[in-house]
């Protein structure tokens, strides 16, 4: 598991300043959601934590280690995006086991991790199929499973459900919640959907224009919004 600190984080793309001094901290095993309107900098922050985007200034600290200059593969992070990229030529079983295999895990370890992940995500019946033989929702479950089976210390999600229809989104929300209950991996989840944030999060970071408006539990934000923006966004009574 991982403890994460983001300290005075800034990001510029050329002359465009998109993250303006963001600070937050995430405890071991916590599920934190970054929420805010499209374009407010959520993906940029997540990508800096993953190491896929450089930091203009500030620090990303994972388990007391500043990781700004550590390449993504050495950060022990798994990431799930909305456009799930599975390996098309591999079966679901091979997709799930791939990360562990790359780390030279034994066959017994891989089988056990695949079984546990498939049980949790209810994809045990699909293990022999290829990604081309799956529905969108099934593919997304496999993509999440593949990430969790690697046993990362930190799990990053970037709007993983936004390409799914409404019914499937609700179902997947439940699956992700169950996954977190069962594996307790520290997770950072980005969404522009306040319902998703309110149902999944232990703690929510509300962003607007690259700045934090409020950090709190779903109940804090709903009952004690810091300002009209948070109240409007979360949908609390004003």
Please report, as ranges, the residues that interact with ligand ADP according to CB under 6 A.
Answer: 13, 16, 18, 38-44
**Residue 140 interacts with, from Mg ion, ligand ADP, none (CB under 5-8 Å by kind):** none
Residue nearest to Mg ion (CB): 43
Residues 29-48 that bind Mg ion (CB under 5 A): 43
Q: Which is nearer to ligand ADP, 14 or 132 (CB)?
A: 14
Q: How far apart are CA 83 and CA 164, in angstroms?
A: 10
Q: Which is nearer to ligand ADP, 41 or 152 (CB)?
A: 41
- Least spacing, CB of residue 162 vs ligand ADP, in Å: 11
- Least spacing, CB of residue 13 vs Mg ion, in Å: 14
- Least spacing, CB of residue 98 vs ligand ADP, in Å: 27
Q: Is residue 138 at the binding interface for Mg ion, with CB under 5 A as the rule?
A: no
- Least spacing, CB of residue 44 vs ligand ADP, in Å: 3
Q: How far apart are CA 6 and CA 29, in angstroms?
A: 16
Chain centre distance of CA 46:
8
Contacts with Mg ion by CB under 5 A: the residue count is 1
Q: How far apart are CA 190 and CA 151, in angstroms?
A: 20
- Least spacing, CB of residue 17 vs ligand ADP, in Å: 9
Nearest of 24, 16, 15, 12 to residue 206 by alpha carbon: 24
Q: Is residue 214 at the binding interface for Mg ion, with CB under 5 A as the rule?
A: no
Q: Which residues bind Mg ion (CB under 5 A)?
A: 43
């Amino acid at each position: 598991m991982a403890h994460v600190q983001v300290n005075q984080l800034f990001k510029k793309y050329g002359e465009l300043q998109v993250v303006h001094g963001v600070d937050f901290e995430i405890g071991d095993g916590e599920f934190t959601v970054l929420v805010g309107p499209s374009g407010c900098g959520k993906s940029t922050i997540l990508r800096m934590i993953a190491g896929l985007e450089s930091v203009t200034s500030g620090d990303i600290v994972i388990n007391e280690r500043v990781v700004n200059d550590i390449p993504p593969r050495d950060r022990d992070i798994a990431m799930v995006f909305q456009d799930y990229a599975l390996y098309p030529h591999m079966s679901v079983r091979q997709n799930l086991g791939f990360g562990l295999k790359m780390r030279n895990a034994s066959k017994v370890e891989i089988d056990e991790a695949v079984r546990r992940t498939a049980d949790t995500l209810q994809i045990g019946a699909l293990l022999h199929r290829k990604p081309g033989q799956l529905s969108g929702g099934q593919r997304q479950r496999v993509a999440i499973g593949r990430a969790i089976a690697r046993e990362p210390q930190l799990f990053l999600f970037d709007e993983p459900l936004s390409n799914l229809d409404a019914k499937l989104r609700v179902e997947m929300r439940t699956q992700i919640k169950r996954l977190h209950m069962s594996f307790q991996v520290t997770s950072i989840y980005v969404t522009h959907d306040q319902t998703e944030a309110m149902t999944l999060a232990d703690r929510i970071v509300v962003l607007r224009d690259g700045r934090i408006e409020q950090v709190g539990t779903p109940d804090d934000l709903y009952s004690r919004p810091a300002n009209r923006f948070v109240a409007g966004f979360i949908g609390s009574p004003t």
